[in-house]
Copies of this chain bind each other. A is one copy, B any other.
Amino acid sequence: MSKQLPVADAAPYCPPLLREPLSEVRSVELARVLKAIADPVRLRLLSLIASHAGGEACVCELTGAFDLTGPTISHHLKVLREAGVIAGERRGTWIYYRVRPEALAELSALLLAPAEPATAEAVGA
């Protein structure tokens, strides 16, 4: 229904950013998702939706937290949806949004620092 970047689904294996050089194609995809969440209103929307009762919220339950109009909030929700970090489901009059934790988990894994090299041999042992 909505345009979604092929982030969470199309990249089952994603080596952490810090472990090996990122390809140009992958860097463009990732930058688009990061740009979608790199906004104070959208970060708060994500966090409000995720911590809302039942893990979902409609725009009517979100506007109260902001000095912004409904259409502006809807615009921000659309950006998040198109980036694949939230999903919307229409029920009656409203669209209910929930966070797609797998999309955020992928970003999270990407930013993890590499572990100490496990295969390093003890020096002088």
Contacts and interface: CB of A to CB of B under 8 A. Distances in A.
Q: Is the interface of A mostly helix, strand, loop or mixed?
A: helix
Contacts of A50: 17-19, 114
A43 B22 contact: yes
Nearest to A20: B51
A95 interface: no
A11 interface: no
Count of chain copies: 2
A105 to B, nearest CB: 6
Interface residues of A, number: 39
Contact of A111 (B30, B39, B104): B104
Contacts of A60: none
